Amino acid sequence: MSVLLTGIGVARGIAIGKAHVLFHDVPEVTEYTLREDLVEPEVLRFSIALEKARVHLRSIRDHLPITTPADVTAFIDIHLLMLEDSSLSKKPVELIRAQRCNAEWALKQQRNSLVKIFESMDDPYLRTRKDDVDQVVNLVQRLLTGQSTPWEGGPDRLRGCIVVAEELSPADAVLFYHEGVVAVVSERGGPTSHTAILARSLDLPAVVGLRRARQFIREGETVVLDGRRGVVLVAPDQRSERHYQQRAEEERSRAADLFRLRDFPARTQDGRRIRLMANVELPEDIDELDEAGAEGVGLYRTEFLYMNRVEPPDEEEQYAIYRGLVHVMEGNPVTIRIFDLGADKPFAGTALGQITPNPALGLRGVRLCLRFPNLLLPQLRAILRASAFGPVRLAIPMVTRSSEVIQVIRLIEQGRHELRQKGIAFDEDLPIGGIVEVPAAALTVSSLARHLDFLSLGTNDLIQYTLAIDRIDDQVNYLYDPLHPAVLRLIYITLRSGARARIPVSMCGEMAGDSRYTRLLVGLGLQELSMHPSSLPEVKQVINGSEYGRIMKLARRVVYARDSEEVVTLMEQINAGL
């Protein structure tokens, strides 16, 4: 009998394959006391297991194809850093020696201590980092106890399979992908979970947040997965399977058609031009921009230069990266956001001090930048220097008041003064913008606009701050709703205020790259959208098949809808024909 299960679709595509149900059972650990003469050999056994774990993760990282997205390797690097951290590399050794206990028990005790610390944190994102601890500890425990690891098996043993797991570690996800797994089902997670990010990066259809999936799906059963709709069909009948096979073929054909749009502009049928830009995290992402047909970089997230390292990047390192990015874009604009550390992007070094109890509402974004001008000034000078080689825009994250913008502008002027004294060239008219991602900023845009040259809507944070919903928390992320009337009105207020101030407004959040919202956003007046490069062709196709005059009238009605039900009805009218 067929069973239909629903979760959260996070990576689009249709896949059909046999289920491989993965149980990440925690290795059984028992405690025993060592004779005095066996303590140091036990320390050595623990050290060997740690090194084997490092070798394993390095081997995965070093053998990744050059096309592997940078954020995938970043996950593995985080686990490698954890293996080097004294809390896992030294503390268990101290316990072995102090208690004369076996290595497995010492590691288990330390794992429990670390998890307790993470679980006591107020911030939901940081609480979920205990999953990284568990994944690293379980790897070492398996090596200590001689148990098989989830990825062991012959070559191509999983080719064509759909993996069903509680949650995949970064190492598992990469290995399974390169073994030919065609899709992933995860019991845990939301749109920004590890599994979701990895699946999107690897272009692997995925459904997450499907509770108790492993209770309903048996090893070897045929499974159909629709990553767009978040649907998993277990043991489909022949008719259903043929239907999804046809849809999968249509998806492949559609992807080929989308690629052919690369060299065409995004323009509505009645002539309204929309500029499509790309979000960039690391220099390695640049290769995707040309393939997608991006017209520039709408958001370069510089904070990733600061993460997973002890010391921050200096001015010369940043200048080389920014200049290289400007050079590659060949005259297309590059928007560089000053570092947006804090919250879910803590800096590994000591320069920024302790993480606050609730970092999402604490010292982050422009607040943190202004607290540490010794870190910000080198970045400002590097951005200014890069602006001599092509069109560069500087964006300020998480602004809430004019005084923050004024302080940043003063520091920029200080950087200009220092460069003039040294005779170093830069763009004297470098555009300075603010990212609207806090309701306070959206409601006071007219005040902020007096000091800025452009605005960008950062919808990821704007939505979660407006709705008081942490998008990373599994327990509430189902309430994360870009179409909530309050969110739509804040977006519209920002657009109208920008128009009155005669400064352009763009959007760089995830909402910009979701084709379900494209017509609405264009109808509201947005003429520049920035997104992950993989989303750009589909968004372009929607724009090219739209009539601005029609969707504009419907979009205004959506903004003033009384409730979510009316929004849904109007959205169906806007997207009619897609």
Residue 64: DSSP 8-state: S
DSSP label at residue 169 = -
Distance CA 457, CA 550 (A): 24
Single-letter code of the amino acid located at 562? R
Tallying the residues shown for the chain, one arrives at 578
> Residue 49: what pLDDT?
92
Half-sphere exposure of 377 (CA within 13 A, CB side): 13
Task: Report whether 339 contacts 416 (CB < 8 A).
Answer: no
3-state secondary structure 248-286: HHHHHHHHHHHHCCCCCCEECCCCCEEEEEEEECCHHHH
Specify whether the CB–CB gap between 297 and 532 falls below 8 A: no
User: Comparing C-alpha atoms, which of 346, 309, 328, 326 is closest to residue 394?
Assistant: 326
CA distance 150 to 22: 7
Residue pointed to by tokens 């230069």:
305
Which two structure tokens, joined as six digits, stand for 267?
């323009």
* Residue 360 neighbours by CB under 8 Å, 6+ apart: 123, 125, 343, 344, 464, 470
Name every residue whose Cβ is closer than 8 Å to that of residue 482 and which is 6 or more positions away in sequence: 459, 463, 511, 514, 517
The burial class, CB within 10 Å (0-12 / 13-18 / 19+), for 61 is buried
Is the Cβ–Cβ distance between 185 and 210 less than 8 Å?
A: yes
- Give the max Cα distance, the chain: 84
Q: Specify the pTM.
A: 0.70
Backbone phi and psi for residue 52, each to the nearest 5 degrees, phi listed first: -65, -40
Alpha carbon distance 88, 103 (integer Å): 12
Residue 174 has what pLDDT? 74
pLDDT per position in the chain (578 positions), as tens? 788 998 888 888 899 999 999 875 566 788 899 999 999 999 999 999 999 999 888 887 776 655 555 556 677 888 888 898 888 989 999 999 999 999 999 999 999 888 887 666 554 445 556 777 888 888 898 888 876 555 455 446 788 999 998 887 766 777 778 778 999 999 887 776 667 777 877 778 999 988 889 989 999 999 999 998 899 999 999 999 999 999 988 888 877 777 777 888 999 999 999 999 998 876 556 767 877 889 999 999 888 787 656 678 899 999 999 999 999 898 999 999 998 876 545 554 444 444 455 556 777 889 989 999 999 999 999 999 999 999 999 999 999 999 999 999 999 999 999 999 999 999 999 999 999 999 999 999 999 999 999 999 999 889 989 999 876 666 776 778 899 999 999 999 999 999 999 999 999 988 998 899 999 999 999 999 998 887 888 899 999 999 999 999 999 999 999 888 899 999 999 999 77
Cα separation, 523 vs 554, whole angstroms: 8
Token output for 137: 């500890």
Q: Phi, psi at residue 199, to the nearest 5°?
A: -60, -45
CB 338 within 8 A of CB 395: yes
Integer Cα distance of 555 and 538 in angstroms: 20
pLDDT tens digits along 338-362: 988 765 455 544 444 444 555 567 7
Are residues 431 and 383 in contact, defined by beta-carbon separation less than 8 angstroms?
no
In whole angstroms, give the CA distance from residue 478 to residue 471. Answer: 8
Q: Report yes or no: 154 and 173 within 8 Å, Cβ to Cβ.
A: no
All structural domains of the chain, each given as residue ranges with its CATH number in brackets, are 3-24+151-240 (3.50.30.10), 36-145 (1.10.274.10), 263-574 (3.20.20.60)
Neighbours of 74 (CB within 10 A): 18
Identify whether the C-beta of residue 396 lies closer than 8 Å to the C-beta of residue 404: yes
Q: Which phi and psi angles does 351 have, rounded to 5°?
A: -65, -30
Counting beta carbons within 10 angstroms of the beta carbon of residue 370, is it exposed (0 to 12), middle (13 to 18) or buried (19 or more)? Answer: middle
Gap between the Cα atoms of 124 and 464, Å rounded: 13
Q: Are 206 and 183 in contact (CB under 8 A)?
A: yes
CA–CA separation, 403 and 442 (whole Å): 16
The pLDDT assigned to 156 comes to: 60
Cα of first residue to Cα of last residue in the chain, in angstroms, is 33
524-556 exposure pattern, b = at least 16 Cβ within 10 A, e = fewer: bbbebbbbbbbbbbbbbbbbeebebebbbebbe
The answer to whether 502 touches 450, Cβ cutoff 8 Å, is no
pLDDT at residue number 284: 57
Which sequence positions are flagged as catalytic?
194, 508
User: d(Cα 131, Cα 137) in Å, to the nearest integer?
Assistant: 10
How confident is the model over 186-208, as pLDDT tens digits?
988 777 666 777 787 777 899 99
* Residue (of 538, 445, 421, 569) closest to 497 by Cα position: 445
